[in-house]
Amino acid sequence: MAWTIDASSPWLRYGLMLPIAIFSFFCAVITHNTVHAPVFRLRWLNSLFAVVLSLSYGHPVSSYVPGHNLSHHKWLQSPRDIMRTSKLRFSWNLLNQLLFLPMVGIAITRAEWTYTAWARTNRPRWYRQLILESVVFYAVYGLLLYWDWHRMVIYVLLPHLYAAWGIVGINFIQHDGCDANHPVNHSRNFVGRLVNWWTFNNGYHGVHHLKPSLHWSLAPAEHARLLHPTIAPSLEQKSLLAYAFRAFIWPGKRVDYLGEPLELAPSVPDLPWFGSEAKVASNEREQLQASA
Tell me the percentage of the chain whose pLDDT exceeds 70: 97
Q: Average pLDDT over the chain, rounded to whole?
A: 94
The radius of gyration of the chain's CA atoms, rounded to the nearest angstrom, is: 20
Which residues, at least 6 apart from 14, have a Cβ–Cβ distance to it below 8 Å? 154
32: left (phi over 0), alpha (psi -120 to 50) or beta: alpha
pLDDT of res. 276: 81
Specify which residues 261 forms β-bridges with: 255
How many other β-carbons are positioned within 10 Å of the β-carbon of residue 138?
Answer: 12
For residues 206 and 189, is the Cβ–Cβ distance under 8 A? yes
How many other β-carbons are positioned within 10 Å of the β-carbon of residue 164?
Answer: 19
Which residues, at least 6 apart from 37, have a Cβ–Cβ distance to it below 8 Å? 213, 214, 215, 216
In the predicted model, is pLDDT for residue 292 greater than 70?
no
pLDDT of res. 14: 81
pLDDT tens-digit series, residues 245-284: 999 999 999 999 999 999 999 999 999 999 887 887 888 7
In the predicted model, is pLDDT for residue 148 greater than 70?
yes
Specify which residues 34 forms β-bridges with: none
In the predicted model, is pLDDT for residue 98 greater than 90?
yes
In the predicted model, is pLDDT for residue 72 greater than 90?
yes
DSSP assignment of 22-35:
HHHHHHHHHHHHHH
pLDDT tens-digit series, residues 177-228: 999 999 999 999 999 999 999 999 999 999 999 999 999 999 999 999 999 9
pLDDT of res. 289: 65
Closest to 199 (Cα-Cα) out of 186, 216, 183: 216
